[in-house]
Amino acid sequence: MFEWTKGGAYDEALRQKIRGWLDEDIGSGDITTETTIPAGAVSRAVIHVKESGMIAGIPVAKLVFDVVDSSLVFEAKVQDGDRVEKGTVIAVVEGSTHSLLTGERLALNLMQRLSGIATKTDQFVQALKGLPTRLVDTRKTTPGHRMLEKYAVRVGGGANHRFGLYDAVMIKDNHIKGAGGIRAAVAASRAQIPHTMKIEVEVESLEQMEEALASGADIIMFDNMPQPLMKEAVQRVKSAAPHVMLEASGGVSLDTIHSIAETGVDVISVGQLTYSFAALDISLDLNAPKGGAVK
């Protein structure tokens, strides 16, 4: 089970996003529901999965329905981080039929995407089983959804890399070109950042790795480096500066992640956790009037 991190500021920030997403979908009103369903109708909706996977986004869906209509009663049947089989009922929502149908698509969209991310992350975590290497995500997230998508990675058993450009220094190839080299880039950054902030440098060769090490980088990322070369680089760094954290990134798949971890890197970052995943198939059915039996 993965516990939802609750907090006033966090929840309110998400509520504001949900209001915006609902405005995008509803506009001037849910014309289909308003013209087909009696205003006072009350129903029971059953949310279930149509394929196996890991669930993420139950608290998010609950917030969606609460923003639509705070009188709706949302009952979770599973929790984020639970692995479920096809056909599992994951939640039941009761109340105004208008409200249920108006909030349905946004709630499902978010749960499907977050569950897809959690499911994929879990697959990568399982592929690393038995090894100390940590799996992390990247900034390759859907604009406006980073907070939720990185949450889903944590639900799946992964960890978060930096959240944005503001919370860590990551010197990549274009920074190196613009600054005039790795040494110059690290020195310029070190002179301006707080002493508590780390500097990560992306390298593609042993020569760049040696330069990053000599410059005093705290973290060295091996970008798309062949595994034999990466293994040699890891051995050199661990011998010279065991305190330096080592990260591998680029071209990581379920088939290669275990062998990449065996090179001795501390962290492996995988962009596809949040940009190349299959949404989990989740459906909502108006089951019966309030008090009716679940199918």
> Catalytic annotation on 105?
yes
Catalytic residue among 15, 140, 190, 238: 140
Name the maximum alpha-carbon separation found in the chain.
74
Catalytic residue among 30, 200, 211, 223: 223
Give residue 8's pLDDT: 62
- Taking 50 as the threshold, does the pLDDT of residue 146 lie above it? yes
As a whole number of angstroms, the distance between CA 267 and CA 221 comes to 9
Residue appearing with tokens 């001037």? 28
Topology (CATH level 3) of domain 126-275: TIM Barrel (3.20.20)
Catalytic residue among 105, 134, 139, 183: 105
Q: Do 14 and 63 form a contact (C-beta atoms < 8 A)?
A: yes
Enumerate residues 6+ apart whose C-beta is below 8 A from 5.
151
Catalytic residue among 134, 139, 172, 236: 172
Own/partner contacts of 193-197, CB < 8 Å, gap of 24 or more, are 193/169, 197/168, 197/169
Tell if the pTM clears 0.75, that is, is over it: yes
Handedness of CA 254, 257, 258, 259 (dihedral sign): positive
> Catalytic annotation on 19?
no
Domain boundaries, the chain: 8-120+278-289, 126-275
Give residue 9's pLDDT: 66
Q: Fold match between 8-120+278-289 and 126-275?
A: no
Burial pattern 263-280, b for ≥16 Cβ within 10 A else e, equals: bbbbbbbbbbbbeebebb
Give residue 5's pLDDT: 58
pLDDT above 90: percentage of residues in the chain: 92
Give residue 37's pLDDT: 95
Identify the bridge partners of residue 89 per DSSP, sorted by sequence position. Answer: 48
> Catalytic annotation on 162?
no
Which H or E run includes 100? helix 97-127
Secondary-structure class of domain 8-120+278-289 per CATH: alpha beta
Residue-wise pLDDT for 160-186, tens only, equals: 999 999 999 999 999 999 999 999 999
Give residue 10's pLDDT: 73
Q: Calculate the CA 157 to chain-centre distance.
A: 10
Catalytic residue among 80, 94, 137, 202: 202
> Catalytic annotation on 223?
yes
Alpha helices in 2-93 (DSSP H): 8-26, 31-36, 58-68
Residue-wise pLDDT for 204-262, tens only, equals: 999 999 999 999 999 999 999 999 999 999 999 999 999 999 999 998 999 999 999 99
- Taking 80 as the threshold, does the pLDDT of residue 31 lie above it? yes
Query: Binning pLDDT at 50, 70 and 90, where does residue 293 land?
Result: very low
CA nearest to 248, candidates 199, 204, 186: 204
Residue-wise pLDDT for 64-91, tens only, equals: 999 999 999 999 999 999 999 999 999 9
Residue-wise pLDDT for 260-279, tens only, equals: 999 999 999 999 999 999 99
Query: Binning pLDDT at 50, 70 and 90, where does residue 294 land?
Result: very low
Q: Do 47 and 84 form a contact (C-beta atoms < 8 A)?
A: no
